Structure formats: C-alpha cells, structure tokens
Amino acid sequence: KKPLIISTDPGIDDVAAMTVSLFADELDVKMIVPTWGNVSLEHTLQNTLDLENFLHTKVPVVKGANQPLVRPAISAASVHGKTGIAGFEFETANDDLLEKGLAATKMYEVIKNSPEKVTLLGVGPLTDFALLFKQYPDVVENIAEVYIMGGNIGHGNHSPFAEYNIAGDPEAAQIVFHSGLPVYVAPLEIGDKAHLTQDQMDKIKKCDEVGNMLYSMFSHIHEPDGDTRIKIYDPTAVGIMLHPEFFSLKPANVEIELAGRYTYGASVMDFLSEKHNAQIATDVDTEKFATWFIQSIQAANNG
C-alpha cells in the first residue's frame, strides 16, 4: 500500500477526495493535515474530524496552516457554504484523533519513520507542504511523488488567470513546484471535464450512507461562474494517483506568477519548455473516472 499524507481544506470536494482515499485498497493514509483554504482552519479542522467520525476511520489529524505564507487569506465560503460543507450536518466529533504539534514537524516524523517513500496529496492551498520543504529540506529524499489539484491551463476560477488553490498561496505553490519532486497536477479543466452528470449523481445518492452524504453536499455547491454542473475537482487528483491510465498526462514546466498585478497566482504551464517540473493531466476518460469514483464511494460504505 502507498503511504499517503493528505493536505486538504474541506470543502465539499475535499470531503469526497478524503473519503475515496481513506478506503482505497492501494492507499495507507498516514496523516491528514487540514489547512485554511475554502474556509478558515477552525472549520476545515472540525470538518475533517467530523468526517472521520462519520466514516469510523482513525487516521491522525494535525492542525495545518492558519493562513497563507505571504498575503492575506481568501475565502470560498460562497462556493462551499459558511462552514465549508453546505448541505450536510455531521455529528460534532471530539478531538481524539487530533495530534499536537506543528504540521511540518509531524509530517516530517511520519515520512522519516516510514520504511517506504511517502506520497503527498494536496487538494487545498499548499502552505503546509511548502513549510515542510522549507523547514526540512532533506525530506524530499523520502517522498515518492506529489499529487495536487490546482492550477489552470485556460481561464481561472478565482481570477481570470488563477485557480483557487494556487491563488490561495502562490508563494507556497511555487515552492512545491520547485521541490525537485515529481508533481502530478489535476488542473481546473479536468474537474470541469469530469463533472458529475445527473445519472451519476443518482447513482451516488443510492450509495447508502456515504453516498447520501456526498450527494447532499454536491447538491449545494455554488460555482463562482454560476455553472450548475457539479464539478468534482479534488477527487481527480486521487484519480491520477491511482489510475493514471484514465488520464492524458503531459510534461510541462510550471511557474507561479508572484508579481503580476492582474495575474498574481497564475500557474504558467509551459508545455513547450525543455525543462519539466510537473506532469499535467490534460484529458480524462470521464466514463472510467466516474465508474471508479462511484465504486470508491460504495467501497467506503462497506468499510
């Protein structure tokens, strides 16, 4: 099983990404690090604990970053609801799974103690992974790969040029793209392409308790552009990790715009460059992806 650390800002699609990861046969989730992001850390942390309580999983949780490295925090409460998970109310969990300590240090310990290289999954702003790389530069020797949902090839969803997770902490994203590790990217366009059809939503609704929970939340997403299709961004990064054969991956050199007045936070993906620091998913077999996603939700019900 691949040992995995998840950095996440739940967030409706984050809940879906965590759920499918926690029950994937191929994965051994070692730690979850909720970060500020879609909503404040206070909510993303509680949502993570509540989700684990709902799913009866016991993965340790460590409190992540409270704000981005440099600029003030942004918010996506208008998309995901005030608490980050509109449409569903979990029972409030206690903090038994919460481990004390700084996220970077706790991640470092898990990674250094793992006999196998650990994989990182980042489906929110990348503040905590950046802090990990800065604080413990030798950590890269024990990391296999980094999978992220973030960035855009075309128009952004936070600004014309920037996608939300990268716009949230552009400096952190630049550090991650320059970590020297293989970075696999599920950009905005893949989440759009893999949007759920009504038929797929109906199937999810039928997936017992877990399907019901996700169906209720998905029905409450409000895309900033008013698009009513249900785009499931974060699970696409899990899809690339477990089923790269569903995707077309293209090498690119990615730089994050850190100075632009109108383009701050843009992910500049150069597919023509001779240098490559990332593999970008540019297409997805939507049928295969959806089938896998729905089966994974069913698997979560069966424990």
Nearer Cβ to ligand BDR (125/139) = 125
Q: Which helix (H) or strand (E) holds 248?
A: strand 247-256
| Residue 118 DSSP symbol | E
Residue pair 201/215 in contact (Cβ under 8 Å)? The answer is yes
Binding partner of residue 163 among ligand BDR, Ca ion, none, CB cut-off 5 to 8 Å per kind = ligand BDR
Examine residue 123 and tell whether it contacts Ca ion (CB under 5 A).
Answer: yes
| Footprint of ligand BDR (CB under 6 A) | 11, 13-14, 38, 76, 79, 123-124, 149, 157, 163-165, 188, 233-234
Per-residue contact string for residues 215-234; x = within reach of Ca ion by CB under 5 A: -------------------x
Nearer Cβ to ligand BDR (104/123) = 123
Using CB under 5 A, count the residues that bind Ca ion: 6
Q: What are the φ/ψ torsions at residue 127 (nearest 5 degrees)?
A: -50, -45
Nearer Cβ to ligand BDR (14/50) = 14
Alpha helices, DSSP H only, in 136-185?
A: 164-168, 170-177
Nearer Cβ to ligand BDR (123/290) = 123
Structure-token match 């905005």, residue found: 188
Question: In this structure, which amino acid lies at residue 292?
Answer: W
Q: How far is the CB of 158 from ligand BDR (least distance, A)?
A: 7
Q: Is the peptide bond before 11 cis (omega within 30 degrees of 0)?
A: yes
Binding partner of residue 79 among Ca ion, ligand BDR, none, CB cut-off 5 to 8 Å per kind = ligand BDR
**Up-side HSE of residue 185: CA atoms within 13 Å toward CB?**
31
Q: How far is the CB of 156 from ligand BDR (least distance, A)?
A: 8
Per-residue contact string for residues 5-34; x = within reach of Ca ion by CB under 5 A: ----x-x--x--------------------
Please, is 76 exposed, middle or buried when counting C-beta atoms within 10 Å of its C-beta (0-12, 13-18, 19+)?
A: buried
The pair of three-digit structure tokens given for residue 129, joined into one six-digit string: 């992974």
d(CA 108, CA 112): 6
Select the residue interacting with Ca ion from 124, 125, 187, 191 (CB under 5 A). Answer: 124
